[in-house]
Structure 1
Amino acid sequence: MRKIAINTIEEALQALIQGNNNFVAAQKSGSVLKEINPISAADGQQPYAVIVTCSDSRVPAEYVFSAGIGDLFVIRTAGHVIGEFELGSIEYGVKYLGAKVVLVLGHNHCGAVQAAMGSHGHGYVKKILDEIIPVITGEDDVEICERLNIDNSIRRIMASELIKDEVAAGHLRVTSAKYDIESGRVDFF
């Protein structure tokens, strides 16, 4: 948890540098990562799940699921919207990395959904909202809109022939859940 305010570009960059220095020092002082990183580097990654979630900085998938390095293949976009690159990444995680679950992890207080409800956005942000707006149009309840957006991401994933084939063969489950920022609880659907 950050203890000091970061107000400038230089402070933000220094926080990243210091954070990495702390990470490396922890490995050198006996952290379990000291043993895991060389194995991961040599053997490659073998995540058990692909997590498609929001870029919201309050939704740290690895922490939420107490996962270690190499356990999750995480794809993050604002509002967890899925386009061609994201779908290709999901397919890669399943076909080449062997993930057994694809989980769309939405969350409460989703700024992308709230912006779509108000139709706010310019530039490339508008592209994100253009994906969300059609699935929430006519709904005023933010929780229902968040769920509709999660369902839309599932539909986008299931448009992949590779994913459909893996699900049909019993090699993969595609599912969804919602993370509560206040409690930390994830409710699976």
Structure 2
Amino acid sequence: MCEKKDTIEAAIKKLQKGNQDFVKTEKNNGDVSQTVRIKNVEAGQKPYAVVVTCSDSRVPPEHIFSAGIGELFVIRTAGNVVGDFELGSIEYAAGHLGTSVVLVLGHNHCGAVAAAMQGHGHGYIASILEEIHPAIEGEENVSKCENLNIDNSIKRILQSETINNLISEGRVKVLGGKYNMESGVVEFFG
């Protein structure tokens, strides 16, 4: 178990270091070479982290964490909400690919959270806002609402028996983070 805990801590440190590199250099130094593409096809993918994040085009996780091909298992939905399909994808990455960290990455200036606060949304967008609204109801501070939404997605992930078993075995850790669009810095919590 100590070995897996070390793997979890190494994955978190790799995310943190990748973000620090991104902030300093303002470009992604992740490996996207033909060699790594072929290796990931022949040997299979072994991502070190799942990143559940917003579909916002200003929140590119591979860049934010200076990651190359095969390093992150990325799941994107507006408002970084988690439903059955996303949860199944997380279970697949953690249970079958051996990914040790699940990061729910929200961000400031989240349009989905703002829309949920204002009660806007028609068509299928309404289902996204229906997931966010109960978690933020009564809160008027936008930043706090964004954090509550991250926490809500973590709670949804923790409804998975598979994920809870992997956590109990010391094989997986679920945490949150918030990306600041202006600075590029990710604040990790949880």
TM class by shorter chain equals 0.7 to 0.9
Q: Structure 1: which 5+ runs fail to align?
A: 1-30
2:98 matched residue in structure 1:
98
Number of residue-to-residue matches in the alignment: 159
Letter in 2 for 1:126: A
Alignment of 1:69-80 (within 5 A): 69-80=69-80
Gaps in structure 2 of 5+ consecutive residues: 1-30
Q: Distance in 2 between matches of 1:174 and 1:147?
A: 15
CA RMSD of aligned residues (A): 0.9
- Opposite residue 166 of structure 2, the aligned amino acid is E
Structure 1 segment 38-49 matched on structure 2, within 5 A: 38-49=38-49
- Specify the alignment match of 2:9 in structure 1: none
- Equivalent position of 2:35 in the other structure: 35
Alignment match, 2:20: none
Report if aligned partners of 2:50, 2:90 keep a CA contact under 8 Å in 1.
Answer: yes
Higher CA-based Rg: 1
Measured after TM superposition, the shift of residue 148 of structure 1 is 0.4
| In 1, Cα distance between equivalents of 2:108 and 2:163 | 27
Q: Is 1:107 aligned with 2:102? A: no
Tell whether the 8 Å contact from 2:32 to 2:69 is kept in structure 1 after alignment.
no
Partner of 1:142: 142
Matched residue type, 1:178:
K
Please state how far the C-alpha of 1:37 moved relative to its aligned partner: 1.0
Letter in 1 for 2:184: G
Asked if 1:178 corresponds to 2:178, the answer is yes
Structure 1 counterpart SS, 2:46: coil
| Moved beyond 4 Å, runs of 4+ | none
Q: Which residue of 2 aligns with 1:8?
A: none
One-letter code aligned to 1:76: R
Distance of 1:38 and 1:134 partners within structure 2 = 45
Q: How far 1:41 sits from its partner (Å)? A: 1.1
Once residues 158 and 34 of structure 2 are traced to their aligned partners in structure 1, the CA distance between those partners, rounded to angstroms, is 38
The TM-score normalised by the length of structure 2 is 0.82
| Match of residue 66 from structure 2 | 66
* Secondary structure of residue in 2 paired with 1:39: helix
Between the aligned partners of 1:131 and 1:35, the Cα distance in structure 2 is 41
Question: Measured at CA, do residues 135 and 99 of structure 1 come closer, stay the same or move farther in structure 2, by a change above 3 Å?
Answer: same
| Residue 32 (structure 1) shift | 5.7
Whole-Å Cα distance in 2 between the matches of residues 118 and 103 of structure 1? 27
State how far apart, in whole Å, the 2-side matches of 1:38 and 1:172 are: 28
Displacement after TM superposition at 1:159 (Å): 0.3
**Percent of residue pairs bearing the same amino acid type:** 61
SS for the counterpart of 1:123 is coil
Which structure has the higher relative contact order (CA within 8 Å, separation 6+)? 2
Please give the per-residue CA displacement for 1:33-68, whole angstroms capped at 9, x wherever unaligned.
121111111111100000000000000000000011
Answer yes or no: is 1:133 the counterpart of 2:130: no
